[in-house]
Amino acid sequence: MIPFDFDYYKPDTLLEAIDLFQDLSEQGKMPMYYGGGTEIISMARANSIYTGAVIDIKGIPECCEFGFSGSNLVIGSAITLTKIVESGLFPMLGITIGRIADHTIQGKITLGGNLAGTVIYRESVLPLLISESQVVIAGNYGTRQAPISELFDGRMRREPGELIVKLIIDSTYTNLPFFHRKTTKIDKIDYPLVTVVAMKKDDRILAGFSGLCDHPFRSIEMEDSLNEKGLTREVRIKNAMSHIPAPVQEDIHGSGNYRRFVLNNILMDVLKM
Amino acid sequence: MTAIGKDVPRKEALDKVTGAVKYNDDINEPGLLHVKMATSTCAHGIIKSIDVLSAWNVPGVRAVVTGDYLPVMTGSVIKDRPPIAINKVRYYGEPVAIVVADTEHEAQKAANSIKIEYSPLPMVKSPKEALVKGAPLVHEKLGEYKKAIDDVYPAAGTNVADHSKIRKGDMDKGWSECDVIVEGEYTMPKSDHIAMETRNVRVKIDPDGKVYVSSSTQCPHGIKDTLATVFSLNEGDIIVNAPLVGGAFGGKAPVNLEFIAYIASRAVGGRQVKLANTREEDIATSPTKIGLEAKVKLGATRDGILKALELKYFVDAGAYSDTAPRMAKTMASNGTGPYNVENVFCDALCLYTNNPYSTSFRGFGNMGHTFCMERTLDKLAVALNMSPFDLRLKNAISPGKGHTSATQVKITKSNTGDLAKCIYKINELIKLDDDLRVEVAKDKVIARGMSCIWKTSASNTDAISGAIIVFNKDGSLNLIVGVMEIGSGVKTGLAQILADKMNMEVDQIHVQMPVNTESSPKHWKTVASMSTVMAGRAVLSAADDAIRQIKDLGSIVLRVDPSQLEIGGGKVYMRSDPDNYVEFKDMVHGFKFRGGNSIGGQIIGKGTYIMENLTILDRETGKGRMGPAWTVGVQAVEVEYNTKDHTYKLVKAATVMDIGKIVNPKTAKGVVMGGMSMGLGLGSREGFLYGSNGGILNDSLRTYKVMRFGEQPDYMVEFIETPAEDGPYGARGLGEHGILGMPAALANALTRATGVELDQVPIDAELIWQLKTGGYV
Amino acid sequence: MMQLCGTDTIELEVNGEKRKVTVRAADTLLHTLREKLGLTGAKPGCENGDCGACTVLLDGWPIKSCLMLAAEAVGHSITTIEGLKNAPMQKAFFENWGFQCGFCTSGFIMTCHALATIHPGADDDTMADWLQSNICRCTSYEEIQNAVKQVLGKGDSSGVQGVVSMKEK
Ligand SMILES: Cc1cc2nc3c(=O)[nH]c(=O)nc-3n(C[C@H](O)[C@H](O)[C@H](O)COP(=O)(O)OP(=O)(O)OC[C@H]3O[C@@H](n4cnc5c(N)ncnc54)[C@H](O)[C@@H]3O)c2cc1C
Ligand code: FES
Ligand code: FES
């Protein structure tokens, strides 16, 4: 039960959505785009967020695009995780998001919502980071497209009112060999202790991490260390671990040192790719 | 035609698979007001101020109530708890104010807006801290509290709510006979019941003073008694209705939300109010499982005969005592486990802390002592270089050998059954007299561990039950009992017992599912695994009563002495000539002769039962009889451990238990497996984690982990049947027992697998890694 | 553009029937089904997406109705446990003792029923993946596993009247 009231809008076009956001903001409604709503509803119930209006983006055609277009895979931000998993179009992404929350919730969470949410894990960003995807964003200026690496610095950088419309992935990335491991404290259905997604491209390992720090990330320094030929695996891993870009998480899921131990084990397997 | 021993589906099964079944919160009445709580964000502190003004400003709010509105003290052992905090808060999550409003969201909005200021006091967060000299006092006025029972001994000026002692035999002599002595220290955290249905209640007070309560409870009659006492009402004015319960596990045995809902209804002129816990409140505000710290010292002769046992239990009751003192007492009296030990010395201290308070939890403390004793036995086996299997077999408590319990009760076949038989049997399911640790691959180890279990109830010495049988015109029966259907299938079991006794088909027995205190006979509480035993005896006595009436009337109609009559198939007939009969349908509402004149009236069978021969335990020695027959058994777990990353998988879990008589095999097996699943959950993942402010960090199902589908091992459950003379058909309790030995068996298996002593639960890969490496990378 | 401001009346298709219902825009589907439509089969076990007791089908796919707004369900067909009529999964739960207290049962049956309908040949991993969305505190899950396997084994879901349409999500 959500203890406050808000209005619900389901626009039919991108333009409508953007205008609506602006209008509602001006009315002081503090609007929010609404994808799957899983985070909005749970945080609203807990009184951790407030909004006076939600704008459901599931009726916007551009947000619901899904499939190959030329040499690109296009995934609208309102596409659910289940739909991506079941399609089998991008196995690395499918396997990664097939471990977010649980199967039923995956039918509700949208790709855009997971990327834009506040949960510190946002595991869906990992395959998108290492496959160097492009993000299409809409604002009152129209739309713009940018590589995800430019927009994502632990969070999806957006101006207020900007909407994530879709993700564009170069289809050469969708079939490369990849590695995914999500480790949890003990239960399969849980937030990650450490999730690692890695891919091998042109004999180079690309890797993204979630659960390790307070945000998901891809680190070129860590990748460089992992790829440093001529060193033993142990040394490469040691070097990579010295480049973790932020403090390692300490929380109810595990201590920092334990996360390092787990990461170390996973990286051993990554290097066997 | 006997229905005993048959897999009769639950009487309410169709309702459950169609969603038609109504739990308490499924019944919604127009005009109902909603109650929400503002709870403490301070674990120990003086309430400086409560600003309720903003709450009153929320539209739809009908009342805002704080603890001083109707100050009462509650507690089934020590009256130490105000339902809404007064002056002081003692745990994070304690109710401080309540709001009554037209809708749930308005009530919540208003409750969220209440501002409470505290002056924090130092916290007591563990039993150890509670015992430190000069520790902050959770209850400064402990000495002034009223006691609800005689045999509880709170120590004024301390955090000790109760102290139970066992002094059996001669310790000096015992230790002197030991060749080997081992010691262990154990901890088990507080944790939650996590019944899938959160606690919820509706209350209204009519102008004539009648109080209507509808609750998700294990104890409708207890609600009636308790509300009457606490609020000085006439018991007869309180009517409690209790539909089917969506899981309870002990958590719905105490009166809890009912107090607050009653106060809330009073505050709005008696209008009907509903108070339903959110999951977070159910975990953090309502009572939980006790925590435990313990020290054990155990000695044996060279050939493994146990000679002396010293037990020290420090029970974390939390902020209020509720039934925690009884659980501490239970641990003391059963702490030997099902083994004969001549010399036993035990101190069980039940301690107040600033953690959430506790109440009964499946196993009622018996899981705690089992963990301590069974871990210690495995240590002893290592020290003796003896197989854990043989060590247990050697010391198994058994009749005819002069064995006695820690409370000096003589062991008989009837009161304990056959543990040795269980031990031999489990060995056929999971090999335990063999190598218990096998390296099966480079990083893989298979290991097994075992634990014996025993439990009797710790009921009131005068606990009662009752049953009423009325008949339908078609000759079928309606059975009315005060036992709650909480998922154990008890009411179906009772129907089977009645069907057998009446020699009829079980589908001719209808059981009233909801309990209503106005019309259902009192049943003490649906707890302690005693429902089938107690209510079963009441049902048998009600059946006897009905049969006597049927035969009396039959003897008039058939013109023979009642002793010449038999009943069966819905008829009373002449033993010498079964073709000479009267059908129930023609007599249960009176028999009408051909001319129209009638005799007999309607047949109503009544039966009662009271626990017999129980005594309170001697304060100094613990001598006495706490419960009726024990149920004994043995459990085993097989794990697959990964030596590289320290994760493990549950492979197999087995239980063999002596339940006296199997009433419904599939149901019995299911209930035992459910208990095992919960026990494995406690062993592997469950337990509260606290933040620096004393609040529970894992207070939702996102972070408080319970077993999910796919994590379960292969379950194997077998039963032995050694009748308990005082149980119906010899049946013993079994509802809780599946949980008891699982944490211990798991810890024993993992200790063997990992080579580190795992003396605490939950055990996850990080704990093993820490113990093995010291926590460094 | 569909919009729902404050409190308003919407039309939902539930168990094959069109039902008009007045809701707050902030009302969850779970709340609406239970409190406004009298369909109490879906249960609140956590209202946080964790337990699955509130599971219903949206166009044939399981969703947790506590994490969906009633407004979002407009234009979709909803199936609750009350809409299943003698589905094989109900029978299988009955026959395999797939519950004790029964509180998780509606949600579990909806998840399992959808699985058997959408992936009648589901392997053990898929089954686990789907069923891990629901929590049962009473049983050991073995009974539930037996029930689902009994239906999956048959590989047919004939007699199913519950799922109104099997459109893609
Ligand atoms: C049971 C459960 C378990 C979970 N476990 C995990 C886990 O293991 N790993 C993990 O990563 N996450 C996990 N989550 C969190 C989950 O990731 C979030 O709830 C989810 O990602 C939010 O997605 P949504 O589509 O429902 O977003 P919404 O709730 O709709 O939105 C979330 C936020 O994103 C914004 N937003 C949504 N769409 C867009 C868009 N297109 N453009 C711009 N902003 C947008 C919204 O305004 C809002 O601020 C779990 C959630 C649940 C319920
Ligand atoms: S109530 Fe919806 S998942 Fe628990
Ligand atoms: S049957 Fe009780 S929770 Fe599943």
Query: Same domain, yes or no, for B637 and B720?
Result: yes
- Are B221 and B517 within 8 A, CB to CB? yes
**pLDDT tens by residue, B252-287:** 999 999 999 999 999 999 999 999 999 999 999 999
CA dist B163 and B160 (Å) reads 7
- Residue B606: phi and psi, rounded to 5, are -125, 145
Give residue ranges with CB within 6 A of ligand 3: B 196, 247, 487; C 99-105, 136-139
Query: Same domain, yes or no, for B92 and B206?
Result: yes
pLDDT at B480 over 90: yes
CB-CB neighbors (< 8 A) of C7 in chain A: 5
Query: Same domain, yes or no, for B104 and B239?
Result: yes
Q: Looking at chain A, which residue has its C-alpha nearest residue B691?
A: A252
Residue type, B384: L
Concatenated DSSP letters of C80-106: -GGG--S-HHHHHHHHTT--SS-TTHH
Nearest protein CA to atom 4 of ligand 3, as residue: C136
**pLDDT tens by residue, B384-427:** 999 999 999 999 999 999 999 999 999 999 999 999 999 999 99
pLDDT at B711 over 60: yes
Q: Which fold has domain A176-272?
A: Enolase-like; domain 1 (3.30.390)
Query: Same domain, yes or no, for B751 and B659?
Result: yes
Question: What is the average per-residue pLDDT within B219-247?
Answer: 98
Domain that holds residue C137: 88-151
Query: Same domain, yes or no, for B477 and B384?
Result: no
* Among B146, B37, B154, B150, residue whose Cα is nearest residue B101: B37
- Are B439 and B618 within 8 A, CB to CB? no
* E strand intervals along A190-272: 194-201, 204-210, 217-218
Residues of A with a Cβ under 8 Å from any C Cβ are: 1-2, 4-12, 16, 20, 36-38, 41-42, 44-45, 54, 56, 58-59, 80, 82-83, 98, 101-105, 107-108, 188-189
> CB contact, 8 Å: C52 with chain B?
no
In a domain, C60, yes or no: yes
* Among C117, C104, C101, residue whose Cα is nearest residue C157: C117
* CATH assignment at residue C141: 1.10.150.120
Q: How confident is the model at residue C166, as a pLDDT?
A: 30
CA dist B611 and B462 (Å) reads 6
- ipTM given for this complex: 0.97
Distance B643 CA to ligand 3 centre (A): 35
Per-residue pLDDT tens listing for chain A (273 residues): 999 999 999 999 999 999 999 999 999 999 999 999 999 999 999 999 999 999 999 999 999 999 999 999 999 999 999 999 999 999 999 999 999 999 999 999 999 999 999 999 999 999 999 999 999 999 999 999 999 999 999 999 999 999 999 999 999 999 999 999 999 999 999 999 999 999 999 999 999 999 999 999 999 999 999 999 999 999 999 999 999 999 999 999 999 999 999 999 999 999 999
Q: Looking at chain B, which residue has its C-alpha nearest residue C131?
A: B709
Query: Same domain, yes or no, for C52 and C70?
Result: yes
Q: Please list the helix, strand and coil fractions of chain A in percent, rounded to the nearest 5, in that order.
A: 35, 25, 40
**pLDDT tens by residue, A182-206:** 999 999 999 999 999 999 999 999 9
Query: Same domain, yes or no, for C93 and C64?
Result: no
CB-CB neighbors (< 8 A) of A82 in chain C: 61, 169
Question: What is the average per-residue pLDDT within B758-774?
Answer: 98
Q: Which token pair is B367?
A: 């899981």
Strand-pairing partners, residue C2, are A10
- Residue B257: phi and psi, rounded to 5, are -65, -20
Distance C77 CA to ligand 1 centre (A): 24
Distance A116 CA to ligand 1 centre (A): 7
> CB contact, 8 Å: C166 with chain A?
no
* CATH assignment at residue B561: 3.30.365.10
Query: Same domain, yes or no, for C96 and C63?
Result: no
Residues 6+ apart with CB under 8 A from B596: none
Q: Which token pair is B365?
A: 């403390």
Which CATH number is correct for A7-56, 3.30.43, 1.20.120, 3.30.420, 3.20.20?
3.30.43
Looking only at Cα atoms, what is the longest distance across chain C? 48
Question: What is the average per-residue pLDDT within B708-734?
Answer: 97
Query: Looking at ligand 2, which atom is closest to the CA of residue C49?
Result: 3
CA dist B277 and B215 (Å) reads 12
* CATH assignment at residue C56: 3.10.20.30
Residue type, B118: Y
C4 and A8: CB-CB below 8 Å?
yes
pTM attached to this predicted model: 0.97
**pLDDT tens by residue, B141-163:** 999 999 999 999 999 999 999 99
Q: Looking at chain B, which residue has its C-alpha nearest residue C93?
A: B17
Nearest protein CA to atom 23 of ligand 1, as residue: A113
Q: Give me the residue from B670, B676, B701 closest to C51, CB to CB.
A: B701
In a domain, C157, yes or no: no
Give the residue from B552, B582, B610 where a domain finishes.
B610
3-state secondary structure of A181: strand
CATH number attached to the domain at A61-173:
3.30.465.10
Query: Same domain, yes or no, for C113 and C142?
Result: yes
**pLDDT tens by residue, B36-92:** 999 999 999 999 999 999 999 999 999 999 999 999 999 999 999 999 999 999 999
> CB contact, 8 Å: C7 with chain B?
no
Domain residue limits, chain A: 7-56, 61-173, 176-272
Which site among A261, A266, A268 would you substitute to test the B interface, given the most B Cβ atoms closer than 10 Å to its Cβ? A261
Residues 6+ apart with CB under 8 A from A131: A92, A93, A169, A170, A173, A174, A199
Distance B527 CA to ligand 2 centre (A): 28
Counting residues of chain B whose pLDDT is more than 90, the rounded percentage is: 98
Give the residue from B573, B591, B610 where a domain finishes.
B610
CA dist B241 and B520 (Å) reads 10
Q: How confident is the model at residue B2, as a pLDDT?
A: 85
A38 and C49: CB-CB below 8 Å?
yes
Residue C153's alpha-carbon distances to B272, B462, C89, C113, C156, in angstroms, are 50, 52, 12, 13, 8
Summary mean pLDDT of chain B: 97
In a domain, B392, yes or no: yes
Residue ranges for chain C with pLDDT beneath 70: 155-169
| H helical segments located in A98-190 | 103-106, 111-116, 125-130, 148-151
- Are C42 and C33 within 8 A, CB to CB? yes
Which site among B766, B769, B770, B773 would you substitute to test the A interface, given the most A Cβ atoms closer than 10 Å to its Cβ? B766
Residues 6+ apart with CB under 8 A from B89: B40, B42, B43, B44, B45, B47, B96, B118
Q: How confident is the model at residue A209, as a pLDDT?
A: 98
**pLDDT tens by residue, B502-547:** 999 999 999 999 999 999 999 999 888 889 999 999 999 999 999 9
Q: Give me the residue from A16, A41, A58 closest to C1, CB to CB.
A: A16
Count of domains observed in chain B: 3
C5 and A7: CB-CB below 8 Å?
yes
Q: How confident is the model at residue B28, as a pLDDT?
A: 85
Strand pairing report for A72-76 and A163-170: antiparallel
Distance C150 CA to ligand 2 centre (A): 26
Confidence band, pLDDT 50/70/90 cuts, at residue B459 = confident
Query: Same domain, yes or no, for C79 and C93?
Result: no
For B746-770, b/e burial (b = at least 16 CB within 10 A) is bbbbbbbbbebebbbbbbbbbbbbb
C69 and A16: CB-CB below 8 Å?
no
pLDDT at B549 over 50: yes
Distance C136 CA to ligand 3 centre (A): 5
Give residue ranges with CB within 6 A of ligand 1: A 32-40, 42, 57, 77, 100-101, 105, 109-110, 112-114, 116-117, 119, 121-123, 163-164, 191; B 702; C 49-50
Query: In angstroms, what separates the C-alpha of A13 from chain C's closest C-alpha?
Result: 9
Distance B196 CA to ligand 1 centre (A): 25
Q: How confident is the model at residue C167, as a pLDDT?
A: 31
CB-CB neighbors (< 8 A) of B649 in chain A: none
Give the residue from B566, B592, B610 where a domain finishes.
B610
Size (chain A), residues: 273
| Nearest listed ligand to the Cα of residue B193 | 3
Domain that holds residue B503: 463-610
Please name the residues between 85 and 124 in chain C that touch chain A, using a CB distance below 8 Å. Answer: 111
